[in-house]
Structure 1
Amino acid sequence: MRALLLALPLAALMLTGCSNDKPMINTAQSLVMESAVLSAGIITDDPVIGERDGQQRAASVLYNQRETPVDVWYRFYWYDDKGLEILPYERPRVSRVPAHSSVEVASQVGNLTASKARLYLWLQE
């Protein structure tokens, strides 16, 4: 019984640590690139968000530093000011980045509450 009484405050502390008002996703991280992409010679910057035709648009330029073209898979995820994901998710897309060249990848969303975007890059095996 004594052990149970000592464990209750610890359990309550652990439960309060789980309930917070912050979003679980860190929307400040706007670029996620698997290590294989960097190993393949692809570099990029964080996506830039702007407006085009009354919609939010995120774009990023992929640079290929190698002698061979690289097929890069990507997906943009959109978030509102509170860090909540905007659905539906876009389907994954692929872009071939020519040797020693660059390609712009972009996403456009009609949801006007969209204010942040995350670009996820990977290579298909």
Structure 2
Amino acid sequence: MSIQRLRTETRYSEIVIHNGTVYLAGQLDEKHSAGVGQQTRETLAAIDAMLAEAGTDKSRILSVTIYLKDMEADYAAMNAVWDAWVPKGAAPARACVESKLYSPDVLVEMTVIAALP
């Protein structure tokens, strides 16, 4: 089976499609200048756009890993935005971990695995 790579750079591809499954590289708010609520909204918007480019949508997400800079400070605010975004009855498997991210201003990053229709 072929592997399709979209938005490929030297180190990674933003989107990889294989065997009916879409894998997204870590998505985040590129400006990373706002609080965790806004960064979560921007991250989810980026995920929506990437999934659309790959030919699928958030209702087909299988798994998400969420990386938060500060679980204690940001978990509730991130979840408030997340809960409003996830389609009712289509919540994916999910893990949420605290992690030191690539820049001190980045508060949230997400990786996604989704199915194609």
TM-score normalised to structure 2 length: 0.31
Bigger fraction of residues in strand: 1
TM-score normalised to structure 1 length: 0.30
Bigger fraction of residues in helix: 2
